[in-house]
């Protein structure tokens, strides 16, 4: 069948069939997809790129996801948790560098002591920065009560990737037990929304068994769930994980990267005012991966503020870039990269998703 990309792209909404065709586009047609995404980005969110300083707080994890290097079943990494002092040093760096926003990410942990501790860190951050540094959490599934307590202690946004929106595929990528349930993941996303967070989710691209039809459904999932932010990137195999056995069946890395860029572009076309991250996994495959993601429609970058001594132990996937670069070097290198991508860094701005601002009223803008 001959596809007329121009006609498809002129429509206000893209159907699943059209998304599948566009995900498979090449040459001139692919170029048209990227051109439209750039145009939509300029109209929807402009040229500003928002920084979120990333703190990889701990690699302790109670889960055993089949794709992830820091899964509990992997004995290779020394398990760590950053001290409060180290967290506050990263907070100071972010604050002084006018990043305006932080992401605290870790393996999934629970229990009263842990929940209390995170709450106390959030309060310290709030106090130390006069509430000026916004905090995004990415700490996995928690109870509604925990989500609420952390929200009240000062967290504003939460990132919880659905990983794949197809429940059957989800169950092939996770152990079959109640701790790894698609229904629970979805429920957690709904609780986050209800609690008042700006909600972010995302998927991995190029997983074993994943089809273009699955990826089209992922895009529609983001749209139907009406998310505020998305972080997605290529799946990258890790030798200490069960999924490694399928490495020969995966798309070559370059194609996974290309598909990820198309996902970013199509998502921008579908959701013009959300925040989309240019993820580190993109840079893992292509040294200019994040800049390319910015050009395809992303508008958020997460410079890594984790102390270098821990980075070797937070390898969700292999060949993670910048593991020996201190935060200050990272900042310098990013500034040059973003300038090259034709965008500008919005220092000192929270950069809350325009989509979130529209869907809520009690919004105090910075």
Residues that bind ligand SF4 in the complex, under the rule CB under 6 A: 61, 63, 65, 68, 70-71, 107-108, 140, 316
H or E element in which residue 278 lies = strand 275-278
* 238 near ligand SAH, judged by CB under 6 A: yes
In the complex with ligand SAH, the residue whose CB is nearer, 95 or 151, is 151
Closer residue to ligand SF4, CB minimum distance, 105 or 260: 105
CA distances from 101 to 65, 297, 348, 352, 364 (A): 28, 20, 9, 9, 15
Which member of 67, 95, 99, 150 binds ligand SAH (CB under 6 A)?
A: 67
Question: C-beta of 316: minimal distance to ligand SF4 in Å?
Answer: 6
For residue 35, which phi and psi values (nearest 5 degrees)? -65, -45
Binding to ligand SAH, residues 316-355 (CB under 6 A) = 316-317
The residue to which tokens 């929200």 are assigned: 151
Residues 6+ apart with CB under 8 A from 41: 268, 272, 297, 299
CB 186 within 8 A of CB 166: no
Place of tokens 């439209």: 36
Contact partner, 281, from ligand SAH, ligand SF4, none, Cβ < 5-8 Å per class: ligand SAH
Whole-angstrom distance, CA of residue 51 vs CA of residue 344? 11
Please state the closest distance from residue 207 (CB atom) to ligand SAH, in A. 9
* Contact call for residue 204 and ligand SAH (CB under 6 A): yes
Write out the two tokens for 146.
């925990």
Backbone angles phi, psi at 243, to 5 degrees: -70, -15
- 86, 280, 324 from 97: Cα distances, Å: 17, 20, 20
Q: Does 105 bind ligand SAH (CB under 6 A)?
A: yes
Q: Is 164 in the site for ligand SAH (CB under 6 A)?
A: no
Q: Which does 161 bind (CB under 5 to 8 A by kind): ligand SF4, ligand SAH, none?
A: ligand SAH
Q: Please, which residue, 126 or 311, has the CB nearer to ligand SF4?
A: 311
Which of 36, 87, 107, 151 touches ligand SAH by CB under 6 A? 107
Q: How far is the CB of 164 from ligand SF4 (least distance, A)?
A: 12
Q: Judged by CB, which is closer to ligand SAH: 160, or 301?
A: 160
Chosen from ligand SF4, ligand SAH, none, partner binding at 235 (C-beta under 5 to 8 Å by type): ligand SAH
Complex with ligand SAH: residue 37 or 316, whichever CB lies closer:
316
Q: At residue 101, what are phi and psi to the nearest 5 degrees?
A: -155, 145
**Non-local CB neighbours of 16 within 8 Å, separated by 6+ positions:** 213, 216, 217, 220
Q: Smaller CB distance to ligand SF4: residue 23 or 82?
A: 82
Asked whether 25 and 3 are in contact (CB, 8 A), the reply is: yes
Binding site for ligand SAH (CB under 6 A): 67-68, 105, 107-108, 138, 140, 160-161, 163, 204, 235-236, 238, 281, 316-317
């Amino acid at each position: 069948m001959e596809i007329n990309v121009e006609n498809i792209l002129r429509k206000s909404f893209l159907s699943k069939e059209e998304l599948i065709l566009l995900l498979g586009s090449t040459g001139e047609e692919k170029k048209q997809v990227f051109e439209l995404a750039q145009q939509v980005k300029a109209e929807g969110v402009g040229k500003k790129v928002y920084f979120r300083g990333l703190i990889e707080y701990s690699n302790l994890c109670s889960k055993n996801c089949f794709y992830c290097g820091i899964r509990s079943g992997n004995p290779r990494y020394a398990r760590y948790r950053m001290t409060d002092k180290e967290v506050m040093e990263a907070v100071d760096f972010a604050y002084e560098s006018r990043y305006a926003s932080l992401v605290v990410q870790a393996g999934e942990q629970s229990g009263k002591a842990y929940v209390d501790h995170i709450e106390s860190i959030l309060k310290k951050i709030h106090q130390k920065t006069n509430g000026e540094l916004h905090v995004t959490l990415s700490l996995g599934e928690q109870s509604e009560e925990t989500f609420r307590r952390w929200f009240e202690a000062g967290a504003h946004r939460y990132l919880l990737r659905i990983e794949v929106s197809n429940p059957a595929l989800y169950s092939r990528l996770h152990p079959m037990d109640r701790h790894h349930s698609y229904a629970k993941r979805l429920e957690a996303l709904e609780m986050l929304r209800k609690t008042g967070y700006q909600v972010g989710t995302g998927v991995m691209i190029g997983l074993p068994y994943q089809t273009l039809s699955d990826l089209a459904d992922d895009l529609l999932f983001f749209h139907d769930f009406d998310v505020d932010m998305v972080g997605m990137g290529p799946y990258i195999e890790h030798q200490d994980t069960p999924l490694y056995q399928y490495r020969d069946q995966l798309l070559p890395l370059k194609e996974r990267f290309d598909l990820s860029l198309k996902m970013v572009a199509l998502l921008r076309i579908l959701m013009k005012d959300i925040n989309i991250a240019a993820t580190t996994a993109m840079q893992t495959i292509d040294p200019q991966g994040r800049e390319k993601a910015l050009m395809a429609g992303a508008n958020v970058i997460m410079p890594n503020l984790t102390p270098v001594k821990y980075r070797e132990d937070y390898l969700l996937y292999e060949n993670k870039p910048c593991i020996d670069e201190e935060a200050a070097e990272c900042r310098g290198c990013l500034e040059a990269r973003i300038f090259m991508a034709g965008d500008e860094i919005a220092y000192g701005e929270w950069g809350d998703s325009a989509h979130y601002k529209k869907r809520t009223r009690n919004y105090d803008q910075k």
